[in-house]
Structure 1
């Protein structure tokens, strides 16, 4: 099933594609003119999932998006104090190519403007048999998770058009910020700007920063966390140049743009975002890139203020319902059907808060379920808060599932999170199914599986006592003889048929309807142990507990019983001891089977 997040990105691409303002960067090699209509969006999570739409794999020049990664390399090489002596960390409020340095120190305002990036390029040295440029490209490659390269043709064009950068470089050299050959520093800078990347590469590079410096696909620690902390801090205040204030207010993610048409944004701890679209605005930022990031920040709740609340939201587990069976005592035939088809119903357990990260992991887990899964139970009992994104995405999942003849079931516990506020009708024509307890949700799925795949009696049908599974091994004549000794009884919904502490009241065979078995837990709360249906029996276990009833049996709807009373049993033992012995053997065998099953299920039932 296609992820609602993927669907959202496809819709977003189509909507933002119509923006026609802006013009591409006019410095490029002959024959490599950018196409204004090119547009791609990629979103990469910190665990390596990449969502992409549009021209996500088309390569273009990284340009100024290189600055944060070279800054991180310089910090790793020299340490914070040495780099701070060359480049400040203050937002400038000026355009990216402004020729201005601090009057007292000569330092550029930050590493995101051209002057600061040139100062950083002047610091990076070769080592280990690699040139400075090779070390820079290697760092970018490790962040992207694949080998990148710098375009010689792009560099040749750029250096012929770099009078302003030449001026900045020699100005930095004149005040001692660049201590070595200024031309070399300029060449290193332009070579890093000419590195060719795709939108997917940038998304994974952003995700590497979001992941504390660890590349999501390879697991390699490209940067240490203190370096990432500094890089993202400067990106947040200065990455979008003289548009930084509006960016922080409306988008709220550390970001960097490039005149090649790329835009990179980082949601720390959660995801990296990249957009490619060549037309630029007056600040040198991609027009579609800005709008895409603004829309994503709002719709996906990716602003740092909202995302900071997400904690460690995650899908904890997905499992078949057979691992957490309901409290309904199933017949042998029903149990066989459920065993065969249990894989068609799965439980997805989610914890934490449902903002971007938690919602994405939830949506991914459901979207990746096999198409054979017809029932999806979302266990949200440990979800503490949920944003609008979660409600929208879960609604989208329900609609997609319903359109395919599948069902979404929510479990919310006593304190239902806001995510359950979904009452619109989808393709199925009915609202989402919500239960407070997991046991009830599993029971719902079991009943649905039995109805869909099992040609078996339902709770509304009658099972004559002579067809009771407990008596199945007895000859038909003996079953008829026992039926003649029984009393027929009827109960209405809510009637208490047997109460805790009552003396043995006979063996009750359920002909029609359902019975809830209720007990008291250690805290004094009444809890449902199981539900019995037509063809099942109860009451015989009281003989093993000092002839006292240990549970309460309560009617669910109208119930019809056949009861072998204590008096009838006493008469049978006196008049036909052989049949009485066969009866007790049959009941003992049935009880042993049930006890064995209860012991195997008790541990998992404690969880709900």
Structure 2
């Protein structure tokens, strides 16, 4: 099914596509960095969200190429830090917020240093530090560096470069001022050309999302595995992006979005959620700060809805999936008839169990909805176990509610293992079944599977004792003789049928209802062993006087049983030894069959 996250992004895209404020920069304006590549692109709008494991959600115009422009600044800043080290770069460019527009004549800090690498003056100083090496020109090295972030080859557009160069008087002035202060060594025009060529490198919105995800992933591209930037440099780059990446709108950005970000006059914006995801938006119309109108609105909306502000998402993201599998490989402890066991073996793949762990913030929630959305269409019931989840965000409840609606449209359903009701806000109508244990949830899905796919009699509500599978080896006459020796008993919900430590009390044949079998482990913790239903038997079969009941049997709902008491068995052994032998043979066969089922179930659980 379609991911709720993709559905959400499509709604955001549809809502914000209605925004018509702003205009693209055009060639010849004194406050313009450069002309847009395509003035007809004003209506283009794309959103891409890439996770730190390389999965990309995208809607709209995410494949159209445009120029990086100022989004190139943090990438080149990282390359300069790698080439020269922090001290050498800091001597040329400071790390203080300027509070100025991108094209301001920022000049006058200590030693004439530009305030930071995100404004044009700082970017020109950084560009002057980038040199050719190993037979490669400076721009070729920059292209290769950017390509590592994007995970594909990128190149600079000569036409865009020439247009920018023809309309860069202000940047020429900045370059010469920086040269006069000794910030730029060598030819200032060459530094300007390097800067403008890096601004002309062509990318798509999807590329930007992958670049942002690479920064979020500590500098390693999550798809290719290539290191684009060292972790120390990533830390510095993201810090400067947080305080200065949105120029004179930086303070409002940190307060309302709370992610390191960088915009470009080409209409692109990237935002980085460290350890979790990279967000990119492409939409050319710009506001008075030089930022994409739709891009800013999209980042604010997504940060709020998905709780991506750094204060809320401070923990590093990781998959919240502890394990995932179908119930044919990990059945419940409920014992079934042979017919039911066969039906569940054939159809158990139609119900899946997904165990969650950690925190359900953005990254954890994304991994969960991706896993659940990607389950095969044949999976009709999905059990979500949240017992090991530490924190559940509002985003998680919202996305699981969306997921539930999508599943319902396909005739599929969620089942929760949520004893504390932590997901109740997502399912206020109470129509999603909720269980305290995974075993109960799996048994519930097994019952539903048997109702839909089981053979006749695979899940009977009641079984007369003469039809008990445990007595199947006996003939009709012998079965009736054994039944005549039994006593009928009824138990209400919660009644203890047999308690641990009691002496052997006979063999119990369940006519109707369910009986839970529990034991106490070495730590004194009560452990559920199995649930028995109509047609099944239980009872310590040992006859020694010193043997005691090792488990507790408790009624789950109203239960009717027939009991073959210990003294009745002794009478049978004395009066009709041959029939007693046949009885023990039948009971031993049934016990072996149940033991085999239990062993296979436990083996499946251990494999998980």
TM-score (norm: length of structure 2): 0.94
Are residue 268 (structure 1) and residue 289 (structure 2) matched?
no
CA RMSD across the alignment:
2.2
**Structure 1: distance between partners of 2:259 and 2:265:** 19
1:450 maps to: 450
Which secondary structure does the structure 1 equivalent of 2:357 belong to?
strand
Q: Report what 1:421 is aligned to.
A: 425
Tell me by how many angstroms 1:17 deviates: 0.6
**TM-superposition CA deviations, 1:201-247 (whole Å, max 9, x none):** 00000111110000011000110000000111111111111111111
Q: Which moved more, 1:514-523 or 1:532-541?
A: 514-523
1:84-483 → structure 2 map (5 Å cutoff): 84-102=90-108, 104-309=110-315, 312=318, 314-413=320-419, 417=422, 419-425=423-429, 430-457=430-457, 461-483=461-483
* Native 8 Å contact 1:334 1:456 kept in 2: no
**In structure 2, distance between residues paired with 1:606 and 1:555:** 28
Distance between the aligned counterparts of 1:244 and 1:183, measured in 2? 30
Distance 1:513 1:110 in 2: 74
For 2:328 and 2:545, the matched residues in 1 are separated by: 31
Cα–Cα, structure 1 residues 499 and 397, in superposed 2: closer, same or farther, change >3 Å?
same
User: For the residues of structure 2 that align with 1:456 and 1:71, how far apart are their CA atoms?
Assistant: 71
Cα pair 1:423 1:431 within 8 Å, conserved: yes
For residues 3-38 of structure 1, give each alpha carbon's deviation from its aligned partner in whole angstroms, at most 9, with x where no partner exists.
111001000000001111101111367983242211
> 2:312 is paired with a residue of what secondary structure?
helix
Once structures 1 and 2 are overlaid, which stretch shifts more, 54-63 or 518-527?
A: 518-527
Question: Residue 30 of structure 2 corresponds to which residue in structure 1?
Answer: none
**Residues 133 and 192, structure 1, Cα contact 8 Å, conserved in 2:** yes
Partner of residue 22, structure 1: 22
Cα 1:30–1:596 change in 2 (3 A) is closer
What SS does the aligned partner of 1:41 have?
strand
Contact 1:310 1:354 in 2 (8 A): no
The number of residue pairs the alignment matches comes to 602
Q: Is residue 102 of structure 2 the alignment partner of residue 64 of structure 1? A: no
5 Å matches for 1:505-584? 505-543=505-543, 546-584=546-584
Which consecutive residues of structure 1, in runs of 5 or more, have no partner in the other structure?
A: none
* TM superposition shift of 1:363: 0.8
- The verdict on how the C-alpha distance between 1:310 and 1:408 changes in structure 2, with shifts beyond 3 A counting, is farther
Q: How much has 1:322 moved relative to structure 2?
A: 3.5
SS of 2:311's equivalent?
helix
Larger displacement relative to structure 2 (310-319 or 155-164)? 310-319
- Once the two structures are TM-superposed, the CA of residue 397 in structure 1 deviates from its matched residue by 1.1
Counterpart secondary structure, 1:555 = strand
8 Å Cα contact 2:25-2:36 kept in structure 1: no
Gaps of 5+ in 2: 28-33
CA distance in 1, matches of 2:290, 2:491: 79
Q: Are 1:2 and 2:18 matched, yes or no?
A: no
Equivalents in 2 of 1:595, 1:458: separation in Å?
Answer: 19
Q: Partners in 1 of 2:466 and 2:476 — Cα distance?
A: 7
- Whether the aligned pair in 2 keeps the contact of 1:450 and 1:456 (CA below 8 Å) is no
